[in-house]
Chain A
């Protein structure tokens, strides 16, 4: 467990999360949420929780992104607020 690596992954995950909330384009927000899931997956792998990281990679980065893209395709791409 390397704490510098953990801090770097946490930094990137926080940046991806904040950007996903603040961005106006919903499709970009979906891709940023996938990036957030990927960094959380790396963080959990680094901490030794391989099973949780595997679930995050399969569900968070894989299937959830497809679900969100399908949901965005039924609505508008730009947010109103």
Chain B
């Protein structure tokens, strides 16, 4: 539905902006526990770079770089990181997401363990939010009927 852009202004601006947006998303992530920002905002900015890529190229280019299978892996990985840190705290004798207990296995005192563990769960939040935002955009744009899905089903039935 979205065709590849012929306009040189849109091409130049998008090619210029996409790397900066991704670096800015990572900046927001790593400064999230000291200043405004964090995993959710950083993930939204990162997803906006993929949306801009879908506007610049067509949707199949985004799917080639960031396929649906990779998307499922990413948003599962983010939830896994978040809940994994929480359960690690439970296993070490604290409450759920009680980061101070992680000082038993990290080479840091409880205050610094809490500081760095927040960064770790923010990474999980960022990965999940980015994958879900891209997934929502692709679903809205294609009406849930992916162009690659039929081919994958054909390939799957052939391999069986």
User: A residues near B, CB below 8 A?
Assistant: 50-51, 53-55, 58-59, 62-63, 66-67, 70-71, 73-74
Contacts and interface: CB of A to CB of B under 8 A. Distances in A.
18 contacts: A51-B36, A51-B37, A53-B36, A54-B28, A54-B41, A55-B40, A58-B40, A58-B41, A58-B44, A59-B40, A62-B48, A63-B51, A70-B137, A70-B140, A71-B140, A73-B1, A74-B140, A74-B143
Nearest to B143: A74
Nearest to B43: A58
A67 B45 CA distance: 14
Nearest to B141: A70
Interface residues of B, number: 18
Contacts, number: 44
Which residue, A50, A53, A62, A73, has most C-beta atoms of chain B within 10 A? Answer: A62
Nearest to B138: A70
B118 interface: no
Given A59-B44, A62-B44, A63-B47, A73 B36 contact: no
B32 to A, nearest CB: 9
A17 to B, nearest CB: 22
A70 B133 CA distance: 13
Contact of A55 (B1, B41, B51, B141): B41
Contacts of B45: 58, 62
B150 interface: no
A22 B141 CA distance: 25
B13 interface: no
Nearest to A53: B36
